Amino acid sequence: MPLTIADLFAQMPGAFIPEKAQGLNAVLQFNFTGAEAGNWNVEIKNGTIKVEKGIHASPSLTISADSADCLKLFNRELDPMQAFMQGKLKVQGDMGLAMKMMQFFKMN
């Protein structure tokens, strides 16, 4: 059964590495188009994580992408920098956070 966006966000708390995010207070907003269109936000605060469906009022970083491309990123089938350069991944806000974001999670 292929991974869905809902699966990905449901698994996020279990993949979170709290010690990598100590002292970080940030909200990551994800906006998806395509087959699994929708919005999710991830709040990282003092080594804790909260994942919710919907739009956060004041995100630190907003990432917009087609849901299929997002799944390819997390499955390591698409390089994040290449996706950004090709316009498949749009990032607004704290670019430093965008560059560090993946280190907060265990990847397959």
Question: Residue 24: which pLDDT band, with cuts at 50, 70 and 90?
Answer: very high
Q: What is the mean pLDDT of residues 78-92?
A: 93
Residue 108 has pLDDT above 70, yes or no: no
Domain 5-101 fold:
Nonspecific Lipid-transfer Protein; Chain A (3.30.1050)
Contact 73, 107 (CB under 8 A): no
CB 63 within 8 A of CB 83: no
Please tell me what DSSP assigns to residue 96. Answer: H
Higher pLDDT, 73 or 27: 27
In single-letter form, the type of residue at position 105 comes to F
Domain ranges within the chain, ordered by starting residue: 5-101
Both tokens of 25, joined, read 């207070």
CA distance 61 to 41: 10
pLDDT number for residue 20: 93
The pLDDT tens digits for 33-68 are 999 999 999 999 989 999 999 999 999 999 999 999
Structure token digits, residue 70: 């997002």
pLDDT score recorded for residue 27:
97
Joined together, the tokens standing for residue 94 give 């704290």
